[in-house]
Amino acid sequence: MRWVILLSVLACSGGDDTDPTADPVETTTEADADTDADADTDPNTSDDCVLDGHFTISNAQDLAELEGVCEVTGTLQIYASPLIDLTGLEQLTTVGKLSIITNTALTNVQGLSGLTTVHGTVDVVNNASLATLEGLSSLTSVGANFKVVVSPSLTDLNGISGVTTVPGDLYIYDNEALCQSAVDAHVALVTVGGEIRETPNDPGC
């Protein structure tokens, strides 16, 4: 009887090969995997709305690509486009350089209402239909030159009154509908580090 009991005990214990001294095996649940994935991707990082480099807007498709962008680190150039306004750029606050050049249909720049800082030069040149700069009313900091040239429909400079310091050159000339007296009054309020050219504009008002 003793041998029968002993054999029974050995038979019951022989199928378990588990080493009690081994480290426990870690298992990953689906919930754990989801948590790890969330940790790798943070949708709220500060660079989410920053576009590195230069960007040119020449049509509506280009404009749409910048919707939601808050900064362009290089030059933002709006060049030879058929656009009448810049709706869609309202979240843009900072650019490296701003060039608005040869846009024959552009009547306003209201889409740039959130822009506060241009690290380099601002060029507003040869925009035949541009009647107002009111869209730049939030702009207070410019890092180099400021040019408003050959904009024959422009009647005032109210939109750029927040720019009181221009480290580089300030050029405001060849704007046929812009009163020379208004230009003179504006320039008198700006601290300019470089050259000033403020004529000719409209001398008859």
For the chain, the domains span 57-202
Residues 29 and 35 sit within 8 Å (Cβ to Cβ)? no
Q: What architecture is the 57-202 domain classified under in CATH?
A: Alpha-Beta Horseshoe (3.80)
What is the per-residue DSSP string for 3-55?
Answer: HHHHHHHHHHHTT----TTSPPPP---HHHHHHHHHHH--TT-TTTTEE-S-E
Instruction: Between 6 and 75, name the one with better pLDDT.
Output: 75
The answer, yes or no, to whether residue 148 has pLDDT greater than 90, is yes
The predicted model scores a pTM of 0.77
pLDDT, residue 130, reads 98
* Nearest Cα to Cα of residue 176 among 131, 124, 110: 131
pLDDT, residue 47, reads 79
Tens of pLDDT along 94-106? 999 999 999 999 9
The answer, yes or no, to whether residue 18 has pLDDT greater than 60, is no
pLDDT, residue 116, reads 98
Tens of pLDDT along 21-78? 444 444 444 444 444 434 333 333 357 999 999 999 999 999 999 999 999 999 999 9
Instruction: Between 178 and 45, name the one with better pLDDT.
Output: 178
